[in-house]
Structure 1
Amino acid sequence: MTGKIINLGSGDLILENDKNNESANASITGSIINTGTGKLSIENKNNTKITGDISNLSSGKLDITNNSKIQGGITNSGSGDLSLTNTSTLTGNISNSGLGNLRINNQEGASISKGITNSGSGTLMLNNFGSIGTNDSGYNISNEGDGTLEITNNSKITGDINNLGNGDLSLANTSTLTGNLSNTSNGNLNINNQDDAIILGSITNENSGNLDLINNAFINGNISNSANGALDITNNSKIQGGITNSGSGDLSLTNTSTLTGNISNSGTGNLMIENKNNNGNNTSTISSSIMNTNSGNLMLDNSASIMGSIMNQGSGNLMLNNTGSITKGITNFGNGNLSLTNQENATISGGITNSGSGTLMLNNSGSIGMNDSGYNISNEGDGSVNITSWTIRTDDTTKSLQTLTVGGRSANSVMVENLIVDQSNLNMDELNDINNLVSGVSLNNIKKINTNGSGEMILSYDALSGKIST
């Protein structure tokens, strides 16, 4: 059949393309159009072919079942809905450009080789068990208008998925995505990467829209937020790539598993990180560095493990609450401020350095090790250091107090508001010399020395003589 097939009115039209015998001609080369309010149903059966375009132009409905091959494009440009079930091969573009909705069920073993576009205000729903190719825009799947695109991927998509318009795109992935995922305009992108799924490409949020990502599987590529939109990440499995916030929008990151790439806040927006163990899992880890390099603020709450260094390099502030383990050091380079609380039983192994013009405020009830210069605290720049509280314990091996050691070019300006001596296993002879408690700090800058007991021991400190009495 070579002519056009058109459904013009309000009636329904059923079209079956079937090859009943070897000599039958089961090829439709002309276009198929539904222009009225009626319903057009097309069933393309085994060993048949439709080479022309199929269009739904008005308020009528179009249902397509393809069990063979459709070479032409499929377009829904009116206010009616289009339903497409594919069990075989579609080689043309598929687009939803009007007010109506388009529902696609691409079944196991089936292929859509030219990709899918939603450019109107309708909703496009895709359930993929097969394979999908690339559309004319260079993407496998794109949402380019005000409508909504909903994707459930149960197979493999090898190209990019892009949200280009003001509408929202939601993606539930249970299998493999090898391309990049991007949100480039004012719409929102929601990604749920489910158990055993894989995302190999990058994920980017590039405009004022928001991107929400829940990862319960594996993400290999980098994740970035580069404009004034917000990026919210919940990681319950593994993200291998780096995470960057470089615009004026905020990035919120909750990690209950494994992050191996660097984390950077280089814009004017804020970065909020919560690193915690979850449901009895005590292996949540951020293994690379965390950097705040501009005027945005970094808020970090760690109750698990951070193995990389933490750096505040710009004019923004770093607020850190640690109840877990931080393996490397913490450095405040710029003119921003660092506020740090290290709770009881928490550890910071690499010491703390304040080398810029900002202020370091420190409350330590846990354990803080030495930096590369051999100090617990170094004040190297023009900024100030105020130790509001520091707990000193007795070393289990040497039975000596674990002295607070302060150094750096501006060590004499370090203020110690309160030293707290832990009474557990305390050797009283250690209290005879203030240098057993703290070194490198001007005696006049030590305000108070107490114990953490119930009041049976009271310490009195004389700043002029540096003597401690009980």
Structure 2
Amino acid sequence: RKSHLNSKKIVLSLAAISFLASCADAALNSEIKTYDEANKNLKARSAASVYTPETRTDTTINSLHTDKVTITGSGSHSLIIETGGALQPQDKNKVIYVNGQNSNTLTLTNLTNKGTIDGQVAVENSNGSFTGTITVNTFENKGQINGQIYMGIWAGKGTINVDKFDNSGTIVSNNKGVYFQGNTNIKSFTNSGLISGNQGVSLSGATINNFNNSGTIQGNDGTFGAVFVSGNITTFENTGIISGKSSGMFVTSNIKTLINSGTITTTGKADNNAGIKLESGGTIDNIINTGTIKSESYGIGVTYGKFGALTIENGGIVYGKIAGINVGQWQTLGNLYIDGGKDTKKDSSVSGVYGDDYGILLSLGSSTQKINLTNGGVIQGNTNGIRLINAASLSGDMILSGEGSRVEGGSGSGISNESGKISGSITIKDGATIGSDSGKAIENSGSGTVTGGITVSGENTKLEGNIINTGNASIGSDIKIENGAKVEGGLVNQGNGSISGSVQVSGGSSIDSITNTGNGAISGSITVDEDSKLDSITNTSTSDTGISGSITNNSDNKLEISNSGNIGGKIESTGGADMVISNSNGGTISGGISSSGSGNTSISNSQGSTINNGITVSGSAQVEISNQGSVGKDSNGNTVTNNGNGSVGIKDWVVSTDKETGKLDTVVVGGSGKDNVKVENITVDQSNVNLDELGDINNIISGVNQGNIGNIGTNGGGEISLSY
């Protein structure tokens, strides 16, 4: 039956209805009064209902009423407050009270407000013994609600099922704006209006299948967010604004998929605030962001929880004043995908993660799996673009690809691995960039490890700054600069840093320099291929290893090598480039030196320094040698071998004396082109020399055309005059 509460119709007070529900119809009829008889001195109408069990009651309110509405028992019910209707009782608690008792099944087919409700709307169990079900088919607010919407099971084993929750009006509360608790299940939650409270929307144990916000959700609480999720949400889509004082979204349970094309933000400035914050084991399996997630602290913060996959595309932004993304101690960020696309924001920013200090900060023991930037995606921080510290782990690959894709640092590094672990590889390709204002593109420091190697590949791909491996850090695989890529800086291995793989420059690529210093060790080889460019190699390492592999220059660009440490392999030039080799301060080149190209080679071996396995020339190069140290012999017994059609000029050579025997370390010249070897000056070290050795020039130098020998002298003054 319908009750239309008009001026000459029936008005039932709460007290009257509670009494009359147990009386006979005759008694009930005798107590009914018209509106004029019952409310002679009142301006506002009073409409309230306690619905009898098993009875369907549809109620419409279209004017001002000051009593509460209570719906209980079993059966189906509806309540509509029209545009001119208002519920404004003096007591604001449970202004509309829908409660389940015992094992009853109560259905609220429609609770719609187009007018004003001053106070709380509560749908709940009446006590802890409730085991039944409350079903709300439709809750819809198009008007103004000045109080909390509570739907929850706070004790017992009952259930609340909500098919549709739709707010296009305004819900404002000093408590939680909308609060779902316990075994409460919502199929569809839609907000296109305003929801505001200390938490705008709060879940505590409840579930929502589809959460859609195109309006505004505000949270004024300093601890939790505008949306507090301690329940489960299957799909959460935001095209509107979610703004909280502490966090936009505070998640302690699970959201399977979060799609944001709107704004999720915080207004507070505490250093633990975040646009989206995971706490107490909270998880979000998948985030797709094409909108803005921002905070005065962290755009996305994982204090205690785990992200699955985070995709940022179509102009999506994650920004934090401290860090765009902060993964706290021992927490997890899964796969990160940033696709710059062609879309930009009005301020010209493109899809990416931005921070005033750090783009991405991985703290003590934290982990992430894969980072993939493409089509102009950006990670940018004014200190570091990406920072890993204290056992933080990147277990997957880091791939930057496409024009404009970049990781940028400021005063620090583009990528800084400070005692962290990068198990995968770092690949920069197809026009991507890593750089920083400080000139440090990639820095691996402390006990940091990069297991999978570093590859810079493709035209317009570049590192703007150095690759630095320092402290006790290690790079366990190859470093490749290939296919036209550029490193506008160098590779610097210092401290106790170690590089186990090779360094390869190929396909028209370039790197300014390679420096191995301190106690650094490079175990692999260094190769510069045709049309590629490496300007210099400097090895001053005191490590026994130094550079243990070979150095091969196949290019047409000049290479300068300066060594005062150990080079275990051979130095070889096969291209058309000039090469300058300086071995000094006790440096050792164990594998010898070979020049088989057409470029000129200059070799300087200072006092106390050693070149083992001789010097071999087999191309058309012009080779100039100055030796004041020791040059060993090759497998054929030659100190200098010329098998080419070029010329070898010995500008100066100090012939040393064996300290034990007094015999001279004879310079033996061999090869098919030995007649093209010319000697400008030879100096005999006469300390401990057996003077009989000086009687035969072949004890000093052999194999060379004696007419090509200029001056022979000693380091004790004077010259040796020999007839030959």
TM-score range, shorter chain: 0.7 to 0.9
Alignment of 1:226-237 (within 5 A): 226=482, 227-230=484-487, 232-236=490-494, 237=497
How many angstroms apart in 1 are the aligned matches of 2:627 and 2:536? 22
The aligned residue for residue 180 of structure 1 is: 425
Match of 1:163 among 377, 400, 408: 400
Task: Check 1:404–1:31 CA distance in 2 against 1; reply closer, same or farther (3 A cut).
Answer: same
The aligned residue for residue 202 of structure 1 is: 453
Which sections of structure 2, spanning at least 5 residues, go unmatched?
A: 1-185, 208-228, 267-273, 341-349, 409-413, 436-440
How many angstroms apart in 2 are the aligned matches of 1:95 and 1:75? 5
Match of 2:663, as an amino acid?
S
The aligned residue for residue 86 of structure 2 is: none
| 2:675 alignment partner, SS class | helix
Match of 1:84, as an amino acid?
I
Structure 1, residues 79-125: CA drift from partner, whole Å, max 9, x if none? Answer: 96671112212234242634663511112343333324263265431
Match of 2:536 among 264, 267, 272: 272
Is 1:327 matched up with 2:590?
yes
Task: Check 1:8–1:446 CA distance in 2 against 1; reply closer, same or farther (3 A cut).
Answer: farther
Alignment of 1:408-427 (within 5 A): 408-427=671-690
Task: Check 1:38–1:390 CA distance in 2 against 1; reply closer, same or farther (3 A cut).
Answer: same
The structural deviation recorded for 1:367 is 0.4
The structural deviation recorded for 1:434 is 1.9
Task: Check 1:101–1:292 CA distance in 2 against 1; reply closer, same or farther (3 A cut).
Answer: same
How many angstroms apart in 2 are the aligned matches of 1:330 and 1:6? 76
The aligned residue for residue 302 of structure 1 is: 563
How many angstroms apart in 2 are the aligned matches of 1:405 and 1:356? 19
How many angstroms apart in 2 are the aligned matches of 1:223 and 1:14? 51
Alignment of 1:402-441 (within 5 A): 402-441=665-704
The structural deviation recorded for 1:440 is 1.0
Is 1:341 matched up with 2:636?
no
Match of 2:468, as an amino acid?
I
The structural deviation recorded for 1:316 is 1.7
The structural deviation recorded for 1:295 is 1.6
Alignment of 1:56-67 (within 5 A): 57=262, 63-67=275-279
Structure 1, residues 255-277: CA drift from partner, whole Å, max 9, x if none? Answer: 12111111101132124211113
The aligned residue for residue 33 of structure 1 is: 238
Task: Check 1:92–1:183 CA distance in 2 against 1; reply closer, same or farther (3 A cut).
Answer: closer
Structure with a larger share of its residues in strand: 2
Match of 1:312 among 550, 573, 584: 573
Match of 1:77, as an amino acid?
G
Is 1:132 matched up with 2:374?
no
On the 8 A contact 2:293/2:299 being kept in 1, the answer is no
On the 8 A contact 1:329/1:352 being kept in 2, the answer is yes
Is 1:459 matched up with 2:710?
no
Structure 1, residues 310-365: CA drift from partner, whole Å, max 9, x if none? Answer: 21112122211001011122111121222100000001111111111111110000
On the 8 A contact 2:479/2:504 being kept in 1, the answer is yes
Q: Give the TM-score taking structure 2 as reference length.
A: 0.57
RMSD: 3.1
Q: Percent identity?
A: 27
How many angstroms apart in 2 are the aligned matches of 1:343 and 1:299? 16
Match of 2:490, as an amino acid?
D
How many angstroms apart in 2 are the aligned matches of 1:144 and 1:106? 25
Match of 1:171, as an amino acid?
I
The aligned residue for residue 151 of structure 2 is: none
How many angstroms apart in 2 are the aligned matches of 1:266 and 1:144? 29
Match of 1:259, as an amino acid?
I
On the 8 A contact 2:338/2:352 being kept in 1, the answer is no
- From the CA coordinates, give the structure whose radius of gyration is larger: 2
Is 1:42 matched up with 2:270?
no
Task: Check 1:36–1:284 CA distance in 2 against 1; reply closer, same or farther (3 A cut).
Answer: same
On the 8 A contact 1:5/1:32 being kept in 2, the answer is no
On the 8 A contact 1:7/1:34 being kept in 2, the answer is no
On the 8 A contact 2:652/2:683 being kept in 1, the answer is yes
Task: Check 1:17–1:54 CA distance in 2 against 1; reply closer, same or farther (3 A cut).
Answer: farther
The structural deviation recorded for 1:232 is 1.6
Structure 1, residues 358-386: CA drift from partner, whole Å, max 9, x if none? Answer: 11110000000101211110111111000
The aligned residue for residue 220 of structure 2 is: none
How many angstroms apart in 2 are the aligned matches of 1:39 and 1:21? 21
On the 8 A contact 1:251/1:271 being kept in 2, the answer is yes
The aligned residue for residue 104 of structure 1 is: 325
Higher relative contact order (CA 8 A, sep 6+): 1
Structure 1, residues 175-221: CA drift from partner, whole Å, max 9, x if none? Answer: 21111101211422522112222211120111331262111211111
The aligned residue for residue 137 of structure 1 is: none
Task: Check 1:89–1:59 CA distance in 2 against 1; reply closer, same or farther (3 A cut).
Answer: closer
Match of 2:306 among 89, 110, 118: 89
Is 1:151 matched up with 2:386?
yes
Match of 1:196, as an amino acid?
S
Alignment of 1:366-445 (within 5 A): 366-445=629-708
